[in-house]
Chain A
């Protein structure tokens, strides 16, 4: 498989206050993200996952080691624009990501900056708005939309660049259950229907369940790396890292303690219910 992002012995630390040693945030990360996959990154607050995400499109640059995006080194200034075109970022707060007063103008912001002709911009904006299910709202004012709708507009703004990969940094943290479900649905669809590579940073374990692969970070390094089944199956190890498992796994785990013999990798509601019904 072709890799879209590769980090090699990546280290990074933020500038420290005078007289204090700067603590490394990333301690030699080797990570390869394959094109077309959905990778979830989990970890405690302060473990370095957002710092890592910002290395993926050259918002931050390596202190040691390097980051390659489709083979392009993020340290090469001449390649930064091309790298950012391929790797889009969506952040936690949709209000900070919306710049225009009309939805379609907001989504057109990036393609306009990339200098595309008007017809091309129109086509990309319409396509992006359809992908997130907000085409009917194209002439609305973003500030009158709900949090979830605003976040979908922010996603459309990134999709209008037709990126190879989109990195989501806690995109649902500020959303209500419906907004959260909508955004996760779009993320899954991006990967399944359009083949966009997805990197999702989240604190919600039940969102990570849909990933092809979960990377758990701890103290600037990678602590676990595997399929959701493999990672969440290690209930004690996950908890020791200050993380939790989805309620489905917790139920299966507790039932096993009470004498059942259930597979811990039945993560979705459907798989969990099926596994239990077979055991009864």
Chain B
């Protein structure tokens, strides 16, 4: 068991168990709730991969479908069992992972055992597959009528030719028609291996006791098949269309979504931690609350609550999104495009870069007050193989010139634009 110090009085314990499962335990004395999650490296992006030399293609949305199915594995009702013990269980599927998480006040030993045993063997009925298909169809239909969803989807489709990147994690209703019980069991057996999963526990727990009960657990001790490494197959054609404008009759607003694609070469040259930190630092320097651009946009009345900058950095692709909904579409568009392309041409704001170090320290300290957020932080660090013990130190060691290669992304070659503009009668 490896013990690391994340802050003066915050320690996290790591261990890789015999079956390959990586475990992190973060004791939080005096906290009432305990958060437990199992993250499986299987997400919406994994639709084509190589396994043992064979290429496999599976329907989009299958990771998300499987997430639904595992709530009633072997005829059990996972949610009911947890509820009977005063706990709540939930799950989500992202592009990279499927994450199952429960929160409880007590009965941790029993719930942990029950939880892990749910992922030993898949056993689904055709009827339960049919039922989940109907529920997922409702879920997918809900997002269809949203222009937010449409503009984001269009932007991704312009940036990437790979359907697994631009399509939603849940797939399309036409995709999920092809998902069968047999396919679900097959992908479970491929991806749901302890070696391909991580367990994270945050709360007032004793790490030694947890490892003791884990070592007696069926999920840990059962005979697992040899885990075969999975290689995702992705394609990244050069995209030639960089702008799309759609006029929506009688709509009440304009939406502008800009994507800055992070080229493959960046993923081949730098690790994800570096890309994350650099992109975050640049966005904060260029568009954060204390940035000069934010002040200019505000003074020109071009800033409102809809403005957002996000970075999506997955296993082998990533992009930055700058979104705004505004009445002053033309003026905003000209200004934001200049600001974006200036990032690669002009030096960053050094004074702000240095001051941000204090904000980073402050945010890092207060992060530990939020069980959910700190749990997610540990989970992300494990996924991206970030060394938490030196995380803060490493960020603070960053110098402004280190950001140069990422700064250069902000050039027209990587910029994609989708505009939905109102067209009045």
Do chains A and B interact in one complex? no
B residues neighboring A (CB under 8 Å): none
